[in-house]
């Protein structure tokens, strides 16, 4: 629903603002996740990355507990998850960011790289789902 | 406040926002990307909501000499529009559309439906590791020939 979406978005923006003003960093999930696991050896201090990555499921768990559950519907087959995961992992590292780093943090400071990245991954996502829909229809 | 605590709070608030907004649900995200189907505009509201506090934060940042709980600002400075940025973003969008998941919601879902999201999370880290180590492997191979 749009109202929950907007309020959830405000929380996400507040989280990113805390990271920026508190620690002077971008709350980019792909970068912090790569750093937390040691896949990236530059970026945020390891402890900061690990704490953020632990915080994500913790916050979702709290909301699920308070709200009596969070609805999720996953693909029936495991293959979209595996192929999608590989592409998301590889692509976000190659493109230096994802929906949070480019989409929220970069766009709000009008970074040219983030504006281009967000336009491209959105367009790519739209085309992909349109093609999947076409494939299912045929 | 300790930097690690600030980061934990930021991550938890981020995860809470994702769960509350409905964006922890891959089907809802795919619904947003499904322009020609039963389009779900929620993700646009999430993005709009998130941009407001961050736009304000960038203004406040301009008046600070240093962050509140760390010695210096450490922010991306590149403005180069290069091929890796474009190709990486296109590949990411492809995976995002196929699965309905991006890194934030995937990690947040570990706190809600860990078993369902686990294949994606494992594959995502494999993809990240491939990006990191593939160039080295192919270079070593090329050097030995």
Stretch A5-32: mean pLDDT: 98
pLDDT digits (tens, 9 = 90+) for B86-112: 999 999 999 999 999 999 999 999 999
Q: Is B135 on the interface with A (CB under 8 A)?
A: no
pLDDT band at A137 (very low <50, low <70, confident <90, very high): low
Which comes out higher in pLDDT, residue A67 or B46? Answer: B46
Percent of chain B past pLDDT 90, that is, above it, reads: 90
Q: Is the pTM of this model over 0.80?
A: yes
Looking at the complex, report in whole angstroms how far the Cα of residue B143 sits from the nearest Cα belonging to chain A. Answer: 23
Q: In three state form, how does the secondary structure of chain A look?
A: CHHHHHHHHHHHHHHHHHHHHHHCCCCCHHHHHHHHHCCCCCCCCHHHHHHHHHHHHHHHHHHHHHHCCCCCCCCCCCHHHHHHHHHHHHHHHHCCCCHHHHHHHHHHCCCHHHHHHHHHHHHHHHHHHHHHHHHHHC
Query: Which residues, 6 or more positions from B141, have their beta carbon under 8 angstroms from its beta carbon?
Result: none
Given this model, what pLDDT does residue A136 score?
A: 76
Task: From chain B, pick out residues whose CB is under 8 angstroms from the CB of A122.
Answer: 93
Contact present, A94 and B88 (Cβ < 8 Å): yes
Given this model, what pLDDT does residue B145 score?
A: 44
* Residue from B39, B95, B116, B126 whose CB has the most chain A CBs within 10 Å, to mutate: B95
Task: From chain B, pick out residues whose CB is under 8 angstroms from the CB of A67.
Answer: 19-20
Whether B3 has a pLDDT exceeding 90, the answer reads yes
**E strand or H helix that includes residue B49:** helix B42-61
Which comes out higher in pLDDT, residue A112 or B137? Answer: A112
Whether B76 has a pLDDT exceeding 90, the answer reads yes
Given this model, what pLDDT does residue B140 score?
A: 67
What are the phi and psi torsion angles at A74 (to 5°)?
A: -100, 155
- Give how many domains chain B has, as a whole number: 1
């Amino acid at each position: 629903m749009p109202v929950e979406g907007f309020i959830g978005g405000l929380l996400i923006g507040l989280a990113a603002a805390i990271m920026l003003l508190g620690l002077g960093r971008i709350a980019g999930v792909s970068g912090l996740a790569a750093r937390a696991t040691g896949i990236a050896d530059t970026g945020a201090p390891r402890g900061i990355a690990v704490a953020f990555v632990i915080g994500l499921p913790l916050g979702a768990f709290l909301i699920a507990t308070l709200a009596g559950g969070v609805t999720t519907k996953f693909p029936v087959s495991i293959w979209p998850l595996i192929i999608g995961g590989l592409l998301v992992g590889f692509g976000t590292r190659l493109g230096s960011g994802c929906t949070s780093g480019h989409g929220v943090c970069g766009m709000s400071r009008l970074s040219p790289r983030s504006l281009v990245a967000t336009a491209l991954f959105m367009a790519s996502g739209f085309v992909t789902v349109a093609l999947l829909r076409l494939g299912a229809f045929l | 406040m300790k930097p690690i605590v600030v980061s934990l709070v930021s991550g938890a608030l981020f995860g809470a926002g994702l769960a509350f907004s409905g964006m922890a649900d891959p089907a809802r995200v795919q619904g947003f990307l499904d322009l020609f189907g039963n389009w779900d505009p929620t993700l646009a509201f999430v993005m709009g909501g998130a941009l407001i506090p961050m736009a304000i934060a960038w203004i406040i940042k301009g008046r600070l000499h240093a962050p509140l709980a760390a010695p210096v600002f450490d922010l991306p400075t590149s403005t180069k529009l290069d091929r890796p940025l474009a190709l990486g973003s296109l590949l990411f969008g492809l995976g995002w559309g196929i699965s309905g998941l991006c890194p934030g919601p995937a990690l947040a879902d570990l706190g809600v439906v860990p078993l369902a999201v686990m294949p994606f999370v494992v594959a995502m880290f494999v993809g990240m590791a491939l990006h990191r180590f593939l160039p080295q492997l192919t270079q070593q191979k090329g050097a030995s020939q």
